[in-house]
Structure 1
Amino acid sequence: MGAQWKAKHRAAAADAKGKLFTRLTKEIMIAARNGADPDMNPRLRLAIDAAKKQSMPRDTLERAVKKGSGQLDGAVTYEKVVYEGFAPHQVPVIVECMTDNVNRTISNIRVLFRKGQLGSSGSVSWDFDHVGLIEAVASGADSDIELAAIEAGAQDFEQGDDGEALFITDMTDLDAVSKALPEFGFAVESAKIGYRPKNPMRLEGDALAEVEAFLAAIDDDDDVHELYVGLA
């Protein structure tokens, strides 16, 4: 399974909740640019659902929607920027950032990639599929992941531990599959458009530890929103 799903670096940090809220807030604000009504804006609905699952306070959530949709004065404008490159041992990496200062972000990314190799646009994305990624948990012992994937309209799935599952969809089907999965025994934990490695690498021992340390440093940057890695 993709390291972007298994690795939970931020969950191990003492300030993980605050960082998670910051990232969720940015996603809500960007999604709200296309409208403040979640019923008419699937991306906003998914972002709000993700925030609610993390127990984001209602006033924080509502303020993020208003800022993003232009209902409040002085709102910060965030821009999505994507960087590609290699971690140590030539492991491909895609870094999605949400930033209000692109110059600051690229400066930080260059420093963080000193132990790897920062590439140009397209240098590694060809080795990833751009898809919908839905993390879900089986609602009961009799939940059938293969049946759920077929019936809900997912392209593929990966079975995790303790009832965890990853459903892969076409980007355009993400919202529909997310809505359908609960009918077939899977509670959706998160749903997003992301990247899935086509040819994930396997590392062990010191090599794996070196790559994980590199990724943890990148993930710790405040502007980094999502991190996708070509590791099995």
Structure 2
Amino acid sequence: MGAQWKHKGRTENAAAKGKIFTKLVKEIMVAAKGGPDPSTNARLRMAVDAAKKASMPRDTLERAIKKGSGQLDEQVNYEVVTYEGFAPHQVPVIVECLTENKNRTATNIRVLFRKGQLASSGAVSWDFNRLGVIEASPPAADTDAETAAIEAGAQDVEKGEEGGARFLTAPTDLDAVGRALTGQGWTVSASNLAWIAKNPVQLEGEARGEVESFLEAIDEDDDVQNIFVGLR
């Protein structure tokens, strides 16, 4: 929860899957501005890997790359816009958007933050660390994650879901560490840059429900790409 807000069971229906594809297409298009070849464009490679894991159709993926790299006549220029603020109960939140219309996005975000508090740039991010996060499963049940982290050059490792591990890296080391882990036999399921809260808030019961409802409403906005929240 402290790393990134995620819906559980989000891929269970077609509408949810379509929403995921929309976010992935945007990320691919922005990443492809740095070049259409995933082998020489680390950001694009991570976006393509995520799209493949989500079972995105190949023609959709290839079209997004061509569109983002300027190989097609139709041009859409997405910009990254980041908002900082607080959910109910003063829970810190960072919202990353990809948009072709910043005025529309700003208006929508202001409305969505009415149940919380929108803050100025830097008011929240100082209490987060910008890190690379890799989620991976080991080649064998007895594989030592800490040894793997050291050998791959990760800064830290945490217990992940279903016997997996969560490796934390410097932002510039994300791609190299992911490749190193793959070379050790680990199966990487996710690799991205994230904001990790230094002092996440602990909430239970009704208060936690209010925060989760607030986050779900923000996540439904088409321009919202990622939400990072300081909540245990």
CA-based RMSD of the aligned residues comes to 1.5
The code of the aligned residue for 1:90 comes to: Q
The code of the aligned residue for 1:127 comes to: D
Shift of 1:146: 1.1
Shift of 1:10: 7.0
Shift of 1:221: 0.9
Q: Tell me, in whole angstroms, the C-alpha distance in 2 between the residues paired with 1:21 and 1:144.
A: 34
Match of 1:11 in 2: 10
Query: Bigger CA drift: 53-62 or 8-17?
Result: 8-17
Q: How many residues align?
A: 231
Match of 1:147 in 2: 147
Match of 1:128 in 2: 128
The code of the aligned residue for 1:8 comes to: H
Q: Is the 8 A contact 2:35 2:41 kept in 1?
A: yes
Match of 2:193 in 1: 193
Q: Tell me, in whole angstroms, the C-alpha distance in 2 between the residues paired with 1:73 and 1:212.
A: 41
Q: Is the 8 A contact 1:144 1:185 kept in 2?
A: no
Match of 2:88 in 1: 88
> Secondary structure of the equivalent of 1:4?
coil
* Unaligned segments of structure 1, at least 5 residues: none
Match of 1:34 in 2: 34
Match of 1:205 in 2: 205
Q: Is the 8 A contact 2:91 2:201 kept in 1?
A: yes
Percent of pairs with identical residues: 64
- Compute the TM-score of the two structures, normalised by the length of structure 2: 0.95
Matches within 5 A, 1:1-232: 2=2, 4=4, 7-9=6-8, 11=10, 14=13, 15-232=15-232
Q: Is the 8 A contact 1:81 1:98 kept in 2?
A: yes
* Unaligned segments of structure 2, at least 5 residues: none
Q: Is the 8 A contact 2:28 2:65 kept in 1?
A: yes
Shift of 1:188: 0.7
The code of the aligned residue for 1:179 comes to: R
Q: Tell me, in whole angstroms, the C-alpha distance in 2 between the residues paired with 1:35 and 1:96.
A: 22
The code of the aligned residue for 2:169 comes to: T
Q: Tell me, in whole angstroms, the C-alpha distance in 2 between the residues paired with 1:19 and 1:165.
A: 27
Shift of 1:75: 2.1
Q: Point out 4+ residue stretches in structure 1 off by more than 3 angstroms.
A: none
| Deviation readout 1:147-191 (Å, 9 max, x if unpaired) | 111111110121023113211100110000011112334211111
Q: Tell me, in whole angstroms, the C-alpha distance in 1 between the residues paired with 2:2 and 2:50.
A: 20
Shift of 1:142: 1.7
Q: Tell me, in whole angstroms, the C-alpha distance in 2 between the residues paired with 1:34 and 1:23.
A: 18
- Compute the TM-score of the two structures, normalised by the length of structure 1: 0.95
Q: Is the 8 A contact 2:3 2:196 kept in 1?
A: no
Shift of 1:100: 1.0
